[in-house]
Amino acid sequence: MSLATVLSRAQNGLTADPVSVEVHLAPGLPGLNIVGLPEAAVREAKDRVRAAIVNSGYRFPLQRITCNLAPADLPKEGGRFDLAIALGILLASRQLPETALQAREVLGELSLSGEIRPVKGALPAALKAAAAGHGLLLPAANREEAALAANLALYPVQRLGELCAELHAGTLCAAESAPPVAECGSPAPDLLEVRGQAQAKRALEIAAAGAHSLLLIGPPGGGKSMLAQRLPGLLPPLSDAEALEVAMVASISQGFDPARWRQRPFRAPHHTASGVALVGGGSHPKPGEITLAHGGVLFLDELPEFNRQVLEVLREPLERGAITISRAARQAEFPACFQLVAAMNPCPCGYLGDEHSQCRCTPDQVLRYRARISGPLLDRIDLRLFVPRVERAQLMGEGTTGETSATVQARVMRARQRQLDRQGKANAQLGTRELDRYAAADAEGRELLAQALQRFALSARGYHRVLRVARSIADLEGSEPLRAAHIAEALRYRETLQAA
């Protein structure tokens, strides 16, 4: 009887839990049995592993083979354990040296020919392997993302036969450190391309400076979508820690793209998206759109057309910056620190408040249309702005054209740096006690706030969001005191929906 153990990792949210692949060979009817709470794709590994071993020129043992994926109570999914199972069988049958995989973890899916295919979640596994002091043997296609983990001995491989030959000869060496991933890819759309809309651009700058959520309201064709698409280009570059977390989210979902390294994500789901598509879910929890937008922008166009129950699931992540998905078998927490930008028409026909078109909607239709968005959700949006139709002269390029995204981004970066130096976070993330300390208004400002509380019936949440926006306006000016002018401008963005 022979026994071999190979180290691997299972994906669990943004983490990678350790898994020991134990292979035992015993007399009996030939067969391979996989235990340890495997899902369908893991159970099917027996056929892929058998064909890959034979087609790589090795002998598949005609014995009773038991493969245990420990711990037994941790769900296992995907084809990430194929390579570990195959190497475990070869070790247990003494076709590979006993010490061939000492202090090395293994990930990889096998094709029938023995080719090693890429897997999802390679970056979280690489980070955990580095923290454990182990090397990582993984598909060559996952090399670029795994190389982002510091202090990791990386062994990228392409075929099972080639890998076994190197293990036999003792010539398997760690790959040289990969060069930093190039910051390439298509450039972000420029704010200069948006004609007119000076006030909307100002609101976009404030939202970028303090990481605030934004609602754009206006008739069709006013430029709401164009403005939203240019917000990522105004935001400060991702820090190393933020870029790594964004890359981890991509690694476990649609796959890591080196061309997107250090670029802030921009997600724009269609209004027919379900709640699970938006926040994530499934029997094995997967990230949704709010997690894929982590560190970037989530744009919801035609906001009232979304199912109201779908929109309500945004309340918790807007407050916490994270989402916890609980299922009977497991629980996973995903980051969801995104900037929400939403767009909507002021009424069903879209022309309420437009000076050039006649609105055909009755007051009752307008009320029903706006009632599709709940008050609590609206209360969580920091800035609300009416975006009118662009004037003919501005649309045709007459007069001034405005500023580029790079110019505005420079101001935003200075304002964001003031926030980090002062409080260590963006203004949108300030708590109640921190607002008392960092966003205390002067006497004239407090008087203005008192009048606003009575006139606009601001909730406690709305009051605090006014202070956060005012703090961002002051930071853009380079002003430490919070003055009445800053508060007045912040209040103007709270009353827009009623005035539209």
pLDDT at 316 over 50: yes
186 pLDDT band, cuts 50/70/90, is low
For residue 498, pLDDT over 60 is answered with no
User: 305 burial class (0-12, 13-18, 19+ CB within 10 angstroms)?
Assistant: middle
Q: Which tokens hold the place of 348?
A: 């069903």
pLDDT attached to residue 500: 43
Q: Is the pLDDT of residue 497 over 60?
A: no
* Among 340, 104, 135, 128, CA closest to 248: 128
Task: Show the DSSP H helices in 321-431 as ranges.
Answer: 363-370, 375-379, 392-395, 405-423
Q: Which residues touch 440 (CB under 8 Å, ≥6 apart)?
A: 482
The reported pLDDT for the residue numbered 403 is 87
Cis preceding-peptide flag for 269 (omega within 30 of 0) = no
pLDDT (mean) for 310-328: 87
Does the pLDDT at position 41 exceed 60?
A: yes
Instruction: List the chain domain ranges.
Output: 2-169, 191-421
For 252-281, the DSSP string reads HTT---GGGTTPPPEE---TT--HHHHHEE
Mean of per-residue pLDDT scores for the chain: 90
Read off the pLDDT of residues 59-83 as tens digits, 9 standing for 90 and up: 999 999 999 999 998 889 899 999 9
Q: Quick one: residue 496, left, alpha or beta (phi over 0 = left, psi -120 to 50 = alpha)? A: alpha
Q: What are the Cα distances from residue 334, in Å, to 339, 432, 438?
A: 16, 25, 30
In this predicted structure, the answer to whether residue 494 has a pLDDT above a threshold of 90 is no
Tell whether the model's pLDDT for residue 204 goes beyond 80. Answer: yes
For the ranges 254-263, 310-319, 394-403, 427-436, the lowest mean pLDDT is seen at: 394-403
In 10 A of CB 283, how many CB atoms? Answer: 12
pLDDT of residue 89: 96
Q: Which CATH number fits domain 191-421: 3.40.50.300, 3.40.50.10470, 3.40.50.620, 1.20.58.1030?
A: 3.40.50.300
* Mean pLDDT score, 194-211: 92
pLDDT (tens digit per residue) in 442-465: 889 899 988 988 888 888 888 999
> Tokens 């390029």 — which residue?
397
Q: What share of the chain is helix, strand, coil (3-state, %, to 5)?
A: 40, 20, 40
* Contact in structure between 294 and 336 (CB atoms under 8 Å): yes
Supply the pTM of this predicted model: 0.89
The Cα–Cα gap between 93 and 91 comes to 5
pLDDT for 327 equals 77
Q: Where are the alpha helices (DSSP H) in 107-159?
A: 122-132, 143-146
CATH of domain 2-169: 3.30.230.10
CA contacts within 13 A on the Cβ side of 173? 4
Given the structure tokens 């300390």, which residue do they identify? 437
